[in-house]
Structure 1
Amino acid sequence: MHDKYDVLVIGGGPGGYVAAIRAGQLGLRTALVEKQHLGGICLNWGCIPTKALLHGAEVAHSIAHADQLGFSVGEVSFDLQKLVQFSRSVSQQLTGGVEYLLKKHGVTVFDGTARLCGKGQVTVIDAKGDERDYRADHVILATGARPRALPGIAPDGERIWTYFEALQPKKLPKSLLIIGSGAIGVEFASLYNDLGSEVTLVELAAQILPIEDAEVSATVRKSFERRGIRVHTQTQVTQVQLTDAGGRYTLKNASAELVLEVEHVLLAAGVQPNVEGLGLEVLGVELERGFIKTDDACRTNVFGLYAIGDVAGPPCLAHKASHEGTICVETLAGVEGVHKLDRSYVPGCTYARPQVASLGLTEAAARAGGRPIKIGKFAYQGNGKALAGGEAEGFVKTIFDAETGELLGAHMVGPQVTEQIQGFGIARHLEATDESLLSVIFAHPTLSEAMHESILAAAGRPLHQ
């Protein structure tokens, strides 16, 4: 086994394993250190298993409303553990695929943890506690992040959950309080509501989905409240009293106080980076708000040391991590024409019902920037495919620079929008203007026609509204 590598990656999540694969493809002698599961949080405890569970929730919703299409379903039974097992099997299949790809591209995988002990020097500690030192010209940190705890509300794995427990519940909770309404909180609220739990969603900010456009957030809130999800914004949990049946939680906002008794609480109040125990202090690695500070090529302030993914700061998304992994390796390998990452145009997707997808500036941010803007909006109520599919809730909203035609932002809420947002991403990457997008032919009948209608509306030329 070699002690010297061209590239050594610490962390095997969607950033780390992609970086290692790309390095192997470029002919670099590469090693990857992973302490638990190849694929990281995304494949094992995040993106993938939640989507498998959400698929089950969609089936539950379809069965509950089958009579609208003339079907009589009758009595339906539900086995929660079978759904959980399905989600775990999907994750295991993908994890096996990652292992195969790493082997295919000649990447050496070490099971264990790693810490920096000098420039280009890494100590790997296996499960038995045995240590071995390695050297590398380039070290890439891809250690990810973990759920953030709140003062006085510590996860115990029983009554107070993180997403780890929420992904494999022993039984369906009768009642669930979710603290935090980012993508994770909103997805679990939608999921457990469709499966039959009584859900309450609490958010400290003025709107749920705080980073999304205000109109999008308002639409999701109205949809949730129609479904029976209780939503409290500008509200915090001020007191916790655990009980045999779950817990008693005091919710407080500027005008009222509410005591809520629930079986379980899910903490979904963001993440914190995994920087402890890496030996960053040995090299004087610079941090920013707790995350590792990097430039647009993922370089830290220490020569030969890089950071990608969640540990390098928001947006904490798997596709951003993978993209950074490729940028990082291609830059250090001297590949020509590497496009640097523009974090403001990383698409964000929330797989609740209704779905949310966006990129670029919100309307509020665009107006705050002082640029002249024009906005187009088209509701799915006017889209034939959405009506035919029985999912006409939501809209598409586009924001353009009124003088240059530059696409500043795109915001979508409604059916399958997570599968459509890449259209705006491609347009942005190719620097398409509103004028060029107006002449694009969208197939009929498709949901994506709403994207075109939004662009037409921004130009003052709507056809179907």
Structure 2
Amino acid sequence: MAAKSFDMIVIGAGPGGYVAAIRGAQLGLSVAVVEREHLGGICLNWGCIPTKALLRSAEVFHLMHRAKEFGLKAEGLGYDLDAVVARSRAVAKQLSGGIGHLLKKNKVTVLMGEATLPRPGVVAVKTGAGTEEITAKNIILATGARARVLPGLEADGDLVWTYKHALTPKRMPKKLLVIGSGAIGIEFASFFNTLGADTTVVEVMDRVLPVEDAEISAFAKKQFVKQGMKILEKTTVVKLDRSPGKVVAHLQDAKGTVTADFDTVISAVGIVGNVEGLGLEALGVKIDRTHVVVDEFCRTGVPGLYAIGDIAGAPWLAHKASHEGVMVAELIAGKHAHPIKPGTIAGCTYCTPQVASVGLTEEKAKAAGYTVKVGRFPFIGNGKAIALGEPEGMVKTVFDAKTGELLGAHMVGAEVTELIQGYVIGRTLETTEEDLMHTVFPHPTLSEMMHESVLDAYGRALHM
């Protein structure tokens, strides 16, 4: 029997793969998706979505404790961890089912199984029933990434957890150590700390949230400490000694090594691309530190083979993967596709307070040779923030002093993950300070701080 042939085969149905498949189908291509585990990938099943559901429960719990501030009464406060987790899983399940419906609606063939690339233009799909080969001129690798494992810090699901264990915790940690203060680490630290865990965060770099602007990191750290977290920067976890119900962590900084006891450790020390077992090396695909090397159009250099999303390197963000999926599908369909500019992709972290940013930090802008104008505006100067009871936060903007180009925007505070999009659109439209100053922001909103931050960069702030 001849192998089934398609215009395009996508390996992996995460936010990059399933979006590429839908866009390809919309453009009239015959499309197949091969997925070994879950439609929606890590993001939807074990990442972005279920973590936001957990964090929302923690946020509501936190607000319940503040009832008195708002003239409300709430007594006998508590939580049911199993019910919190069950809600998070239900949210993920609902959305995963939705992906299946979207693929079916767009007439995309879905094959559940493990994919390999035995030769150019061929994908072998291994299922419980055996192996079937399918062919296509164009193949998109969207296999994503997984948690990095450091020797000696391997997860066991009991004392040492990965993000997966942390999403379905069997118990509430009493004394928690989080290794790594990137988005994943700090979000879990925020969740468990809010629910009452005695939380310590260890970061090897000189500050928490190390990819963020230094001022934003410092502000966020102050809030985390205020909430009772211990933050250890420039510190490495050298070793974990495990015994029943207890982990002794050996923590090393410039002064030497100390030990501390914990009952739970979450390892969040980055990710590695899922590049193994696909047969990529034999096809001549270049791999650099577990990521497939691609050009601006996600081409691997092997004719007809593309790589998108986490497997294609930083930034490791679902929205970047989806956008690349659309771009590659349009390229394959013969449309005029635009490469993605990394500087227009926002990063969002859903800890309390939230953190969001786009473009260059002040430090990076200066290092790139720009003379900068920087504006800042605090939440405490904003009417809506005060009314919400959220006076802790800041909006910071970085402009090119010569041209007025918006180089970067950085925020910390309530709902900034929603606000950042205004500046993202501005960056995409190549906005200047003049455009932003002439924009009328609605009142009373948190977004007015975005306007004030721009005004402040040019010495024109009105409310401070």
TM-score interval for Structure 1 and Structure 2 normalised by the shorter chain: over 0.9
Measure how far apart 1:289 and its partner are: 2.6
Alignment check: 8 A CA contact 2:404 2:432 kept: yes
- Residue 275 of structure 1: how far off its partner (Å): 0.3
Query: Which amino acid in the other structure matches residue 156 of structure 2?
Result: D
2:168 alignment partner, SS class: coil
What is the aligned partner in structure 1 of residue 190 from structure 2?
Answer: 190
> Is the aligned partner of 1:315 residue 2:343?
no
Distance 2:325 2:77 in 1: 46
Structure 2 counterpart of 1:46, one-letter code = G
Is contact 2:354-2:412 (8 Å) kept?
yes
> Which runs of structure 2 are paired with 1:211-226 in the superposition (5 Å)?
211-226=211-226
CA distance in 1, matches of 2:3, 2:52: 39
Deviation at 1:392, TM superposition (A): 1.1
- What is the correspondence of 1:21-32 to structure 2 with a 5 Å cutoff? 21-32=22-33
Q: Distance in 2 between matches of 1:32 and 1:246?
A: 44
Give yes or no for contact 1:120–1:304 (8 Å, CA) kept in 2. yes
Residue of structure 1 in register with 2:363 after alignment: 364
Does residue 449 in structure 1 map to residue 441 in structure 2?
Answer: no
Deviation at 1:250, TM superposition (A): 1.1
CA deviation profile, 1:205-249 (whole Å, cap 9, x unmatched): 001101000001001111011111000000001121101122111
Question: What's the CA shift string for 1:303-361, capped at 9, x where partnerless?
Answer: 0000000000011010000000001110121113x221011221000001000000000
Equivalent residues of 2:274, 2:290 under 8 A apart: no
**Any idea what the Cα deviations from partners look like across 1:249-276, whole Å, max 9, x if unmatched?**
1111001432111111101000000000
Q: Deviations over 1:13-68 (max 9, x none)?
A: 00000000111111101000000100000000000000000000001101111111
Whole-Å separation in 1 of the counterparts to 2:205 and 2:461: 35
8 Å CA contact 2:3–2:133 kept in 1: the answer is: no
One-letter amino acid matched to 1:296: E
Asked if the contact 1:138–1:304 (Cα under 8 Å) also holds between the matched residues in 2, the reply is yes
Q: Matches of residues 285-364 of structure 1 in structure 2 within 5 Å?
A: 285-336=285-336, 338-364=337-363
Alignment of 1:40-51 (within 5 A): 40-51=41-52
For 1:34, the equivalent position in structure 2 comes to 35
Does structure 2 conserve the Cα–Cα contact (< 8 Å) formed by 1:111 and 1:127? Answer: no
Report the TM-score when normalising by structure 2.
0.98
CA offsets, 1:179-219, max 9 Å, x none?
Answer: 00000011111111111111110000001101000001001
CA–CA distance in 1 between the matches of 2:366 and 2:324?
30
Aligned-partner residue type, residue 209 of structure 1: L
| Mapped contact 1:49–1:90 kept (Cα < 8 A) | yes
Counterpart in 1 of 2:260?
260
Counterpart of 1:145, as a letter, is A
1:399 corresponds in structure 2 to: 398
Is the 2:3–2:135 Cα contact (8 Å) retained in structure 1? no
The correspondence of residues 39-188 of structure 1 with structure 2, limited to 5 A, is 39-128=40-129, 130-188=130-188
- 2:367 maps to amino acid: A
Q: Which amino acid in 2 is paired with 1:441?
A: V
Matched residues in 2 for 1:2 and 1:302: separation? 22
* Structure 2 Cα separation of the partners of residues 437 and 162 of structure 1: 42
Alpha-carbon distance, 1:2 to partner: 6.5
Q: Secondary structure at the match of 1:403?
A: coil
Is contact 2:344-2:428 (8 Å) kept? no
Aligned residue for 1:211, secondary structure, equals coil
Contact 1:117 1:123 in 2 (8 A): yes
Give the match's secondary structure for 2:118: strand
CA distance in structure 1 between the aligned counterparts of 2:460 and 2:354, rounded to whole angstroms = 27
Given that 1:142 and 1:307 are in contact with CA atoms closer than 8 Å, whether structure 2 keeps it comes out as yes
1:111-139 Cα deviation digits (max 9, x unpaired):
101011111111110134x1111110100
Instruction: Give runs of aligned pairs for residues 413-452 of structure 1, distance below 5 A.
Output: 413-452=412-451
**Secondary structure class of the residue paired with 2:391:** coil
CA-to-partner distance for each residue in 1:428-454, whole Å, 9 max, x for gaps? 111111111111000111000000000
RMSD: 1.0
Distance, in Å, in 1 between the alignment partners of 2:409 and 2:82 is: 38
Equivalent pair of 1:176/1:264 in contact (CA under 8 Å): yes
Aligned equivalents of 1:144, 1:331: Cα separation in 2: 21
Q: How far off its partner does 1:77 sit? A: 3.0
Give the TM-score, by structure 1 length: 0.98
Residues of 2 paired with 1:433 and 1:70: CA distance?
43
SS of the equivalent of 2:220 reads helix
**Structure 1 residues 8, 442: CA separation in 2 closer, same or farther (over 3 Å shift)?**
same
| Secondary structure at 2:351 match in 1 | coil
Unaligned residue ranges in structure 2 (runs of 5+)? none
Distance in structure 1 (CA, Å) of the matches to 2:436 and 2:338: 23
Q: Provide the rounded CA distance (Å) in 2 between the counterparts of 1:254 and 1:292.
A: 36
Partner of 2:375: 376
State the match for 1:235 in structure 2: 235
Say which SS state the counterpart of residue 102 (structure 1) adopts: helix
- Does the CA-based 8 Å contact 2:173-2:264 persist in structure 1? yes
* Structure 1: tracts of 5 or more residues without a match: none
Partner Cα distance (1:364, 1:271) in 2: 25
Give 3-state SS (helix, strand or coil) of 1:408's partner.
strand
Counterpart CA distance in 2 for 1:176 and 1:126 is: 40
In 2, Cα distance between equivalents of 1:150 and 1:252: 15
AA matched with 1:358: S
8 Å Cα contact 2:241/2:247 also seen in 1 = yes
CA distance in 2 between counterparts of 1:437 and 1:226 reads 34
Partner Cα separation in structure 2 for residue 89 and residue 125 of structure 1: 29
Q: What SS is found at the alignment partner of 2:209?
A: coil
Which residue identity does 2:225 align to in structure 1?
E
Within 1, Cα distance between the matches of 2:156 and 2:207?
Answer: 28
Q: Across the two proteins, how many residue pairs are aligned to each other?
A: 463
Report the AA paired with residue 276 of structure 1: E
Summarize the alignment of residues 193-204 of structure 1 with structure 2, pairs less than 5 Å apart.
Answer: 193-204=193-204
Offset of residue 153 of structure 1: 1.0
- Cα offset, 1:387, TM superposition: 0.7
Q: Is the 8 A contact 2:45 2:93 kept in 1?
A: yes
Moved over 6 A (4+): none
Q: Percent identity?
A: 53
